[in-house]
Structure 1
């Protein structure tokens, strides 16, 4: 079975516009159990991340301002959520879920965080509903504890992983790779080690050609001993916030390409789910569940 983190549900009241995307974190575990992809014992509920791991990636003043709820109002607006102690705790549990997922991936080949993919969090600020960068914190944890020496981050969310790119811009031990919509948020892009901005309307054929060509080449060239995969399903043609035109089946094939290469090269992979904003919740759940279905077929 697959080691899967529970999503720490954020129970503090949210503005109406934010409630619908959060629903997937409650429904996805239920779907995984219903289909027998996971059993109760496959889930783990993360504690709050140690501040040492967070300070190692994010500036202390920024983290302390989050914890003390003293962040500048303009900075809060860029994040997009009203700050609360519950929200910050949730973010810290997400980060710890990815850290534990790293350890479980080293043991089992693959592990998932039902939440995570908070790739718009920078060293000193948050934006785009991201405050602490879970995969950056996980990558740094692996490097600092000598559990990995070279890391590849494969970010296939429709939005560029701008925070991740900034955090690791001067770190040769982490290679950041982002395939995203050229005209999608963030409108000011950072520079990843490899960025592939896609034109509006890019569909299955071109999208999958790029992924299938580049992923094995990068693995061969960079020789990572650990991979992070951000598997956002906001690349779907139905997504309200994305401008790509990938089908549900194409999104699943993308996951197959990534996981099959991780398996082929025997590289452990930690997967965080990222975005998904299609109008119907069943589309979002099906797309995210496909990611688990693919991994279950390959790793079980």
Structure 2
């Protein structure tokens, strides 16, 4: 299974910053050690033209040269640095590459990504550019050049609503945005996705999986995707500092398997990204993500068997 990374670009964050930058290297190291069927590939940078499919040229330029407004930087939560600008482009490039690989292999992934709080003209919530949105628009453009219309479903199971993605694709019938998230969690002013599932604080495994089943059923009734982009946030885990839900490792693994099964049963390629994860113990967040990749490898293997 092809997996794309940009873990060599580490943001120079001040001491005590709450973003767990170290989780990406830990995750990559564990994938290398434990899942030999994964082929790790370095991500290329998204180009200005690719980013401009979603983001305003002025915002892309401001991130690139460091002239971004201080108020936007406060919303993003990162100080500007050249590493921040490069990493943001590489993260988008990794999701683009994962989508292309998914069309060939059935399933592929980005070790990071899932930056769903970024709008067209600004970032927010540790998100600079919206990787899922840019990858969606680029895949649609590439299909369009071959005379095909591509419908994309973004299944966002991060604990925080995908507000930027929802706003970018508002009133677009070719993209279906599904966000299942904590009702009282960030962002506190939410956008309207095509399907929003608001979960109360303390939601556990059984209630979560039941809500997911209903959401996937509604998605199927309303939309027929040719590609799924799955944001597999680790932050619904019961040990997450910011999550406020109570899913166990087993519950999150069941969530992942259900999404992979749903796409496989319908013959829809799926690219996934890690989105959020802020465990009190960073190792717990990484374990959730390793489990997601293990489920992804099993789904990828089924695709390979189907094609033989």
- TM-score normalized by the length of structure 2: 0.93
Partner of 2:246: 245
Q: Give 5+ residue unaligned stretches, structure 1.
A: none
Supply the distance in 1 between the matched residues of 2:35 and 2:124 (Cα, whole angstroms): 36
Supply the distance in 2 between the matched residues of 1:97 and 1:8 (Cα, whole angstroms): 11
Whether 1:161 and 2:158 are equivalent positions in the alignment is no
Supply the distance in 2 between the matched residues of 1:64 and 1:275 (Cα, whole angstroms): 26
Where does 1:213-252 land on structure 2 (aligned, <5 Å)?
213-252=214-253
State whether residues 8 and 93 of structure 1, in contact with CA within 8 Å, keep that contact through their aligned partners in structure 2: no
Task: State the 1:38 CA deviation.
Answer: 3.7
Task: State the 1:212 CA deviation.
Answer: 1.9
Over 3 Å counting, the alpha-carbon distance change for 1:235 and 1:73 in structure 2 is same
Task: State the 1:263 CA deviation.
Answer: 0.7
* Partner-residue secondary structure (3-state), 1:197: strand
Deviates more, 1:108-117 or 1:145-154: 145-154
Supply the distance in 2 between the matched residues of 1:80 and 1:102 (Cα, whole angstroms): 27
Partner of 2:23: 24
Partner of 1:68: 65
Q: CA RMSD in A?
A: 1.4
Q: Deviations over 1:196-254 (max 9, x none)?
A: 11111111111000112321441353011100100001001111011111111100100
Q: Give 5+ residue unaligned stretches, structure 2.
A: 302-308
Partner of 1:263: 264
* Partner-residue secondary structure (3-state), 1:135: helix
Partner of 1:91: 88
Supply the distance in 2 between the matched residues of 1:44 and 1:87 (Cα, whole angstroms): 20
State whether residues 10 and 21 of structure 2, in contact with CA within 8 Å, keep that contact through their aligned partners in structure 1: no
Supply the distance in 1 between the matched residues of 2:96 and 2:52 (Cα, whole angstroms): 14
The counterpart of 2:142, out of the listed 145, 155, 160, is: 145
Q: Deviations over 1:132-177 (max 9, x none)?
A: 0001000000111117511110000000000000110131100100
Q: Which runs of 4+ in 1 moved over 4 A?
A: none
Supply the distance in 2 between the matched residues of 1:8 and 1:19 (Cα, whole angstroms): 18
Partner of 2:305: none
Q: How many residues align?
A: 297
* Partner-residue secondary structure (3-state), 2:16: helix
Partner of 2:34: 35
State whether residues 159 and 184 of structure 1, in contact with CA within 8 Å, keep that contact through their aligned partners in structure 2: yes
